Amino acid sequence: PELEKNGWTGASPSRLKVIYDTNMQMAYAQGKYRQQKLITHIYPYWKYTQIQRPTKRHNHSLLHGKVFRHDDPIWDLIYPPSGFGCKCSVTPIKDGTNAEEGTKYLRQLRRSKDFTLHPAYTWKVDTSKYVKDLRNQLDKMLNTKPTFFEKAFENEELLRKISEKYKEQTKEDLGHHYIAELLGFTAKPKVLDKSEIDELNLLDYYITYRGLNGIKAQEFYDQFKYGDYFSGRGIFGSGTYVAIDDIDATRPFTNQKEVMKILYPKNANIINYKDLDRDFNKREDEMMVIAYKKLGYEPYEDKIIWRKLMDDESNLSGKERDELEYRYENISSEVFKEFDKIRRDAYFLNDIGDYAILNGYDAIFVEDRKYLVIMNRSKCIVQKENVELPPVEFSEKKIVNMPADLSRRLGRVWGRIALYNDVNPSDVVRMTSKIASIQKFEDLPEEVQKWVVVAEENIGEDND
């Protein structure tokens, strides 16, 4: 009676149930969309799934199993439920191997009557503000970084050389040496006597210590001070690993009586490992913006055009709509191809250490391990005289770091784990902190043991 009083007639109970269920699904979908957007740095791709049933829609069936980037405008149209009674779903995934451009489907789907509801688009109430904020955030993200990252991708010859050097790794050159050299990171440090060190304002520096094993330890100390610089290997990136403040923390890494003392300026371009991990997960977004800029487009210009099509469709003439659709499809296609090329050329960015160097960071601060990974030697002030370790029995010192031999073994292949295994580079990075205190290879998680063995089989024998 109440429905009839308000003008609703002829609706069956089953029809009312469909409407009610769909409204509930719409509310649920908008919440789910927000949640999925929050984890796109981990799961940047979305997979569309249609349940198999006799009443399935034809155009929804065409999308079954399709994978698109989370920010592809096609989701504004197809994010489920996109019609009454629609039971399709979206699953966030990491692997973008089978990702497609939504462009080639949009023209057909927009003219279809199978997509009448748009929960994802409904949530974006003020689209112009969304695009403006997105662009401002991206510009801020890129402009606050050193320029070498973008410069490398704009210069195809430079990118080619970096890729080639990475493929030609030797025991001295781990592949990123070429980048470090271009940035001046391999320049010799300042070497001072102890008396000169004592006159410095030590509050301006991290006081660090470096210990090495073997009869050639002193030779390596001297090379760091006066010779050519080639960084070491490690799971937190390739560089020179030094303990901050605590000289005893070098004990698991040395069998010598003396260690090297290094002062590192606190005002250097140092990034916390956790912040680096966060940025590392956004590298594909950075490469996408670079693809737009290389082609002369505004970042996400095609998506701005798509928003205009969705917002102003009723006010556009047929000619205007066709022109905008044509421009949208061209930009999307060009950018996707350029992005794919950049991503393939920059496979070396699967190593978080290479990513840090390319962004111009001098060192990585591993807070929970209390050490620095130094990549820019030129910033170092090294004490000429080595420092004698206090007479403490090794067995009395609790080992909190990974032993040198295991660290070296993992460090040798860590940056290439994702290259030879079916694993996301971000998952490798997240595993780093979890295994940093493990003492034996056999105590590592089984999946990590497998990663390492597979990578070693592909890389070959280590001749260090």
pLDDT digits (tens, 9 = 90+) for 101-132: 888 887 777 776 767 666 665 544 333 443 45
The total of other beta-carbon atoms located within 10 Å of residue 437's CB is 13
Helix axes 283-294, 127-143, angle to 10 degrees: 100
Q: In which band, very low, low, confident or very high, does the pLDDT at 12 lie, cut at 50, 70 and 90? A: low
Conformational region of residue 264, where left means phi above 0, alpha means psi within -120 to 50, and beta covers everything else: beta
CA distance 22 to 19: 5
Q: What is the mean pLDDT of residues 161-173?
A: 65
**Final residue before a domain boundary, out of 350, 366, 381:** 350
Asked whether residue 52 is domain-assigned, the answer is yes
Q: In which band, very low, low, confident or very high, does the pLDDT at 225 lie, cut at 50, 70 and 90? A: very high
Quote the pLDDT of residue 175.
Answer: 61
Q: What is the mean pLDDT of residues 355-359?
A: 85
Quote the pLDDT of residue 282.
Answer: 81
The total of other beta-carbon atoms located within 10 Å of residue 209's CB is 24
Quote the pLDDT of residue 147.
Answer: 55
In the chain, % of residues over pLDDT 70: 76
pTM: 0.60
Asked whether residue 252 is domain-assigned, the answer is no
Quote the pLDDT of residue 121.
Answer: 58
- Of 9-23, 172-186, 240-254, 352-366, minimum mean pLDDT range: 9-23
Asked whether residue 213 is domain-assigned, the answer is no
Q: What is the mean pLDDT of residues 382-400?
A: 69
CA distance 454 to 417: 8
Which position has the token pair 């660090």?
208
Same domain, 339 and 428: no
Two structure tokens written together for 352? 């978080």
Asked whether residue 337 is domain-assigned, the answer is yes
Quote the pLDDT of residue 213.
Answer: 73
For the chain, count helices (H), then strands (E): 21, 12
Same domain, 49 and 79: yes
Using the 8-state DSSP alphabet, how is residue 99 labeled? B
Q: In which band, very low, low, confident or very high, does the pLDDT at 390 lie, cut at 50, 70 and 90? A: confident
Question: Could you tell me which of 194, 192, 188 has the C-alpha nearest to residue 388?
Answer: 194
User: 428-435 contacts: CB < 8 A, separation 24 or more?
Assistant: 428/350, 429/277, 429/280, 429/352, 430/277, 432/235, 432/236, 433/273, 433/368, 435/235, 435/402, 435/410
Contact 84, 11 (CB under 8 A): no
CA distance 338 to 301: 15
In the chain, % of residues over pLDDT 90: 17
Two structure tokens written together for 39? 């984890």
Q: In which band, very low, low, confident or very high, does the pLDDT at 262 lie, cut at 50, 70 and 90? A: very high
Same domain, 340 and 425: no
Quote the pLDDT of residue 62.
Answer: 84
Q: In which band, very low, low, confident or very high, does the pLDDT at 289 lie, cut at 50, 70 and 90? A: confident
Same domain, 7 and 88: yes
CA distance 54 to 1: 34
Asked whether residue 380 is domain-assigned, the answer is no
Same domain, 135 and 86: no
Quote the pLDDT of residue 25.
Answer: 66
Two structure tokens written together for 459? 């890389």
Asked whether residue 101 is domain-assigned, the answer is yes
DSSP string, 208-267: EEE---STTHHHHHHHHHHS----B--TT-SBEEEEES-GGGGGGG--SSEEEEEEEETT
Conformational region of residue 184, where left means phi above 0, alpha means psi within -120 to 50, and beta covers everything else: left
Phi and psi torsions of 134, nearest 5°? -60, -45
Mean pLDDT computed over every residue of the chain: 78
Same domain, 32 and 54: yes
How far, CA to CA in Å, does 395 sit from each of 371, 405, 436, 442? 21, 18, 20, 22
Same domain, 315 and 426: no
Q: What is the mean pLDDT of residues 215-228?
A: 86
Contact 434, 444 (CB under 8 A): no
Asked whether residue 96 is domain-assigned, the answer is yes
Residue 302 has pLDDT above 70, yes or no: yes
Q: What is the mean pLDDT of residues 207-226?
A: 85
Half-sphere exposure of 429 (CA within 13 A, CB side): 23
Same domain, 10 and 150: no
Quote the pLDDT of residue 374.
Answer: 93
Alpha helices (H) along 6-102: 13-38, 58-63, 74-78
Residue 432 has pLDDT above 60, yes or no: yes
**Final residue before a domain boundary, out of 108, 125, 142:** 125
Q: Is the peptide bond before 81 cis (omega within 30 degrees of 0)?
A: yes
Q: Which residue has the higher pLDDT, 441 or 21?
A: 441
Asked whether residue 203 is domain-assigned, the answer is no
CA distance 439 to 417: 20
Residue 359 has pLDDT above 70, yes or no: yes
Quote the pLDDT of residue 101.
Answer: 87
3-state per-residue secondary structure call for 303-345: HHHHHHHHHHHHHCCHHHHHHHHHHHHHHHHHHHHHHHHHHHH
Q: Which residue has the higher pLDDT, 125 or 197?
A: 197
Domain count, the chain: 3
Q: In which band, very low, low, confident or very high, does the pLDDT at 169 lie, cut at 50, 70 and 90? A: low
Of the ranges 81-95, 120-134, 192-206, 268-282, which is most confident? 192-206
Q: In which band, very low, low, confident or very high, does the pLDDT at 11 lie, cut at 50, 70 and 90? A: low
CA distance 387 to 371: 18
- Of 35-49, 155-169, 389-403, minimum mean pLDDT range: 389-403
Same domain, 336 and 408: no
Same domain, 110 and 27: yes
Using the 8-state DSSP alphabet, how is residue 455 labeled? H
Q: In which band, very low, low, confident or very high, does the pLDDT at 95 lie, cut at 50, 70 and 90? A: confident
CA distance 387 to 462: 31
Domain of 417? 402-464
Contact 178, 237 (CB under 8 A): no
